[in-house]
């Protein structure tokens, strides 16, 4: 029986992005594919894309010379050498099937991203949650230091785009563990933020999930660096195991044994301040212009990377202080009738708990109202109690129906079941299955001085526009 973690990579064969010729990206508007397409385009490579939705990122791609096809048809493949698809586009998708019929190379997005890394010093970030923010902090720290990295992130950096071709030899990327595609990368620096229960539809159990993360670590250059969180049992266990085998490992976190340790954390609406120590020696007082202890935690992974690459502590601190944020991570979208509206991506209960705690700090004397759209039926059912516990930390909650493309929600297992598990007074929680009814439900719950946050599945990021009308 073959090992599901044994994924080949274009890097193993020395295949570069330039070797792929004329490339068609399917679903080019989505954040992940958009960033990779932009990277290819800014390298001056011939790129086209197909997309049905009118994503706001498309005009920028067209400005870069990307041909956008607004439908999925066979003629999109004329003159194309390589088709790039995501996991969402299976072999039955019209363009994928046509590419197979014509004998055109078909790459998964992860393979096209790996090809773009070939010959570069790559820094790859993965983990159950926290990887997008960590990737963004590392990228902007390196940019601030003048190292001009190339990068592809799973979220859009505020003030920048999701993919960019830098002039330096460093490449920073977020790696998706949900479908094992992160096992196609061969980084010099591999970072794992945490290993928590998730994606069991792919892995089946925690043992298999942990084995995949261990393989990611082993795919990292033996002469490179592994950066693992000391606060998470899964990553700490890997750190001890790999260090015993002679691997170079840097741990980070609040824990006393962490190589890069943070403490004296002060978080407010203006950001978070904290002290960083490296091997028990104080590096200095750091500041991030975003609130939250977990954001500070993410930044200490960046400190480990910066030290490995030879940056001075003051340059690392300056780069972190210049961080402009990531869309859908504590992103303030506006104000309405005296209450603030934020948007936050968190849907895993661990990330949700930290997000709710931080937003409660932002709310101060006001109340925190969470508008939550659950993401995937299998996850919501398996983690119902944990998700409900995170939402119970808020003052009031609006629960939408589960967003699960291609999934059937079992009867009695949808959003109402999640609402019932939330420990709040009946007047402080409501199930609103219809999108158009959510703004009225929020207006009935929110008052001047409150904070409203839309949280969860990607479609809910569009809800702030409706709330602010």
Catalytic residue numbers? 131-132, 174
Half-sphere exposure of 4 (CA within 13 A, CB side): 12
CA distance 296 to 320: 10
Pairing of strands 368-373, 451-456: parallel
Half-sphere exposure of 448 (CA within 13 A, CB side): 2
Please report, in angstroms and rounded to a whole number, the separation of the first and last CA atoms in the chain.
Answer: 56
- Cα torsion for 454, 458, 461, 462, to the nearest 10°? -130
Pairing of strands 260-268, 249-253: parallel
Residue whose C-alpha is closest to residue 452's, from 305, 326, 319, 344: 344
CA distance 153 to 34: 10
Residues 6+ away with beta carbon under 8 Å from 263: 254, 274, 275, 277
Structure tokens at 311: 């940056």
Are 286 and 275 in contact, with CB atoms under 8 Å apart? Answer: yes
């Amino acid at each position: 029986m073959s090992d599901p973690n044994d994924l080949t990579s274009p890097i193993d064969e020395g295949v570069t992005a330039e070797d792929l010729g004329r490339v068609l990206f399917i679903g080019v508007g989505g954040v992940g594919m958009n960033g990779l397409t932009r990277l290819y385009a800014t390298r001056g490579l011939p790129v086209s894309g197909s997309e049905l939705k009118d994503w706001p990122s498309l005009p920028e791609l067209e400005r870069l010379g990307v041909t956008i096809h607004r439908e999925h048809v066979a003629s999109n493949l004329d003159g194309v050498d390589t088709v790039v698809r995501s996991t969402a586009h299976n072999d039955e998708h019209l363009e994928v099937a046509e590419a197979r019929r014509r004998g055109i190379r078909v790459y998964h997005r992860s393979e096209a991203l790996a090809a773009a890394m070939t010959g570069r010093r790559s820094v790859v970030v993965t983990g159950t949650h926290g990887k997008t923010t960590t990737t963004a902090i590392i990228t902007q720290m390196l940019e601030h230091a003048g190292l001009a990295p190339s990068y592809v992130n799973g979220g859009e950096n505020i003030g920048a785009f999701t993919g960019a071709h830098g002039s330096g030899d460093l490449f920073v990327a977020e790696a998706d563990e949900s479908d094992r595609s992160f096992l196609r990368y061969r980084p010099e620096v591999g970072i794992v933020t945490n290993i928590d229960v998730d994606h069991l539809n792919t892995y089946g159990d925690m043992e298999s999930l942990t084995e995949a993360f261990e393989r990611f670590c082993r795919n990292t250059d033996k002469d490179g660096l592994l950066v693992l969180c000391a606060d998470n049992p899964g990553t700490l266990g890997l750190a001890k195991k790999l260090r015993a085998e002679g691997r170079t490992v840097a741990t980070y976190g609040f824990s006393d044994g962490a190589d890069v340790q943070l403490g004296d954390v002060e978080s407010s609406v203006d950001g978070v301040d904290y002290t960083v120590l490296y091997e028990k020696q104080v590096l200095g007082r750091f500041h991030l212009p975003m609130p939250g202890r977990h954001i500070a935690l993410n930044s200490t992974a960046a400190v480990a990377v910066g030290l490995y690459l030879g940056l001075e502590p003051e340059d690392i601190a300056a780069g972190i202080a210049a961080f402009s944020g990531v869309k859908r991570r504590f992103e303030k979208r506006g104000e309405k009738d005296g209450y603030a509206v934020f948007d936050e991506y968190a849907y895993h209960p661990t990330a949700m708990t930290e997000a709710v705690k931080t937003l409660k700090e932002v709310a101060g004397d006001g109340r925190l109202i969470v508008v939550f759209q659950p993401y995937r039926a299998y996850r919501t059912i398996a983690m119902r109690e944990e998700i409900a516990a995170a939402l119970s930390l808020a003052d009031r909650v609006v629960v939408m129906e589960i967003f699960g493309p291609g999934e059937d929600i079992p009867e009695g297992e949808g959003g109402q079941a999640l609402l019932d598990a939330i420990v709040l007074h009946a007047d402080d929680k409501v199930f609103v299955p219809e999108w158009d009814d959510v703004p009225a439900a929020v207006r009935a719950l929110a008052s001047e001085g409150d904070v409203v946050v839309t949280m969860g599945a990607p479609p809910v990021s569009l809800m702030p526009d409706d709330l602010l009308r």
